Structure 1
Amino acid sequence: MYDSHRKVLFRTLLSLGGRCYISSPEGSVYLLELQPLPRLVEVVDQRCFAKKDYIWFNHIISLLVRGTGGRMLMVRYWRGMERFGGVEAYNRKELFTVDGITSRIELLEVDIAGRRLVPVRSLGQNALFVGLTHCLHISTETFPSISADSVYLGCRQQQSYGFSIYHINKKKNHRRVAAKHKFVYDMTRGYTPDARPYNLDEYLVHYVDRSHNLSKSCMNHINSCFI
């Protein structure tokens, strides 16, 4: 899938084991090779989901995250299940509705050797923060204020999708998704948490959407500490 400038569309870059991997919006995964000439080598093929309206309007997004033990994880978000066979085609326990739109989130492991995506049922005592520029894997044993077994959206995605946290295995009387964090928008600084001081989760959902040219040295240091 290419844009009007003949550039490959991708969602995330991930460095793992000394190699650079790329995910496309629909969930295909490629390895970037530099020798003998730069090229993308297909690792996982998911192009059957690469219809233009899915991609251009963000009905499907796929984000790579470095997990524990050298694993590569993917969070894939499907927005508007009527476009993907309707709600009847899926386990209703996996679906959630926000602002009248029924969606689904998959947690997957990228099996490089097997060239496939393998469903992951739980993150255990960990959580993922996924955004436009960064994706983080966080231990809730180290940071107990973070909700375990959950996926946090970056602040910009929260504005678009209407929720902040997806709980992978929801508990009794526990909603699948949580309300958006409160952010204020400034023309020069973009979205910033409304509360002062920031809670850790508010800081991280803001951080994963920050552009690299705005990231200060302390932000980069905290990134390496969390990983």
Structure 2
Amino acid sequence: MDTAVNLPSHYGPSSFLTDWLPVDATAIIGAGIDDSTSPSTLVLCLRPGRHPIVCAKPGDENWVYGRVSEKRTAGKVALVQSPVTFGGRCYFTTVAGEIMALDLSPGTQWPLLTFLLDKDPPVNAEISSFLIRSQGRMLMVRYMFGANLVHGGGYDEKEIFMWRGCPSRMEVFEVDVTGRRLVGQSGVGDGQAAFVGAAHTVMVSTKKFPKIAANSVYLNYYMRQRGHFGAYHFEDRKATQLRAPKGRSRRLYPCACHWELEDYLVVCDV
């Protein structure tokens, strides 16, 4: 498939920004594979804009934009991130912390992004959310911060920590796809550590890599640049800052004399 192809005329200009659908590599922030079609469909997440994803499978002449089936949170579904293929289907999170599923059912005119949960958990602060596969499960990691956590947020004070004077909270849920709900967890799991970012997330075995802290979440370099911590440890409910990277812009070089695995994983999703 070409990276820019002419769309069939029946799609109509009202459905797209132009009569052409460019797939610019710099606009891609993540990818997934949906096995509900034959052959499987490649799904690309795009940077904020009118349409959050494009889809195509081998043999297709055109990339097709996905559409949001409904809008629960106005203006916050133009960006989906953290794509995960689970059970043969693609799932994403929104900037509001919701979970969306891709519907590629036969006979559907457009790829549809539908809200998975019957009831979204309350959010009373700024939020970043991420999906990750772990030992046959799909987890959602949510990092919340802001004064609202302690002013009417309704959260357990023991689960709130301060980072640079800002109330913060890290939480993990298992995504019950069949039940369309989230099930609270005490962390990402013993012997596991999650590296999270908008483009992709990675779960690492701390038994194989003991230098990485178990039952912890590591934020990517982009979030650290915005003043957030490096890692959160569920065992003692503490956040820590890791080695500070040096360099300008996106040319990143950890300041240590050599790179560790966590350095690569932190920097790879900026």
Alignment check: 8 A CA contact 1:11 1:61 kept: no
Report the identity percentage.
35
The reply on whether 1:191 has 2:191 as its aligned counterpart is no
Pick from 110, 115, 121: which aligns with 2:175?
A: 110
Tell me the residue number matched to 1:142.
Answer: 208
Superposition deviation, residue 48 in structure 1: 5.4
Counterparts of 2:257 and 2:74 in 1: how far apart (Å)?
A: 42
Residues 1:18 and 2:88 aligned together: yes
* Shift in CA distance, 103/111, structure 1 to aligned 2, threshold 3 Å: same
State the TM-score, normalized to the length of structure 1: 0.77
Displaced runs of 4 or more, over 6 A: none
The aligned counterpart of 2:100 is 30
| Kept in 2: contact 1:71–1:110 (CA 8 A) | yes
Q: Match for 2:164: what amino acid?
A: D
Deviations 1:126-185 (A, max 9, x none): 010001322101111111111001000111111213310100121xxxx70112431113
Contact conserved, 1:62 with 1:76, CA < 8 A, in 2? yes
Give the residue type in structure 1 aligned to 2:156: N
Alignment RMSD (CA, Å) = 2.3
**SS, match of residue 241 in structure 2:** coil
The 5 A counterparts of 1:3-14 are 3=75, 8-14=78-84
**How many angstroms apart in 2 are the aligned matches of 1:65 and 1:23?**
11
Q: Secondary structure at the match of 1:151?
A: strand
Matched with 1:181 is 243
Q: Secondary structure at the match of 1:103?
A: strand
Tell whether the 8 Å contact from 1:63 to 1:75 is kept in structure 2 after alignment: yes
Structure with higher Rg: it is: 2
Aligned partner of 1:40 among 92, 96, 113: 113
Q: Which residue of 1 aligns with 2:44?
A: none
Separation of aligned partners in 1, 2:217 and 2:203? 9
Partner SS state of residue 203, structure 1:
helix
Q: Secondary structure at the match of 1:23?
A: strand
Tell me which protein shows more helix as a share of its residues.
1
CA distance in 2, matches of 1:24, 1:39: 15
8 Å Cα contact 2:192/2:204 also seen in 1: yes
Q: Give the structure-2-normalised TM-score.
A: 0.65
Matched, 1:162 2:235: no
Aligned to 1:119: 184
C-alpha offsets along residues 38-57 of structure 1, whole Å, 9 cap, x if unaligned?
111221142854x9xx6xxx
Structure-2 separation of matches of 1:2 and 1:195: 44
Q: Flag structure 1 segments of 5+ consecutive residues without an equivalent.
A: 210-227
- The answer for the alignment partner of 2:141 in structure 1 is 75
Amino acid at match of 2:254: P
Secondary structure at the residue paired with 1:11? strand
Equivalent pair of 1:26/1:46 in contact (CA under 8 Å): no
Count of residues in Structure 1 that have an aligned counterpart in Structure 2? 193
Q: Deviations over 1:99-125 (max 9, x none)?
A: 110110111111111111111113111
Q: How far off its partner does 1:88 sit?
A: 7.2
Gaps of 5+ in 2: 1-72
| CA 1:42–1:88: 2 relative to 1, 3 Å | closer
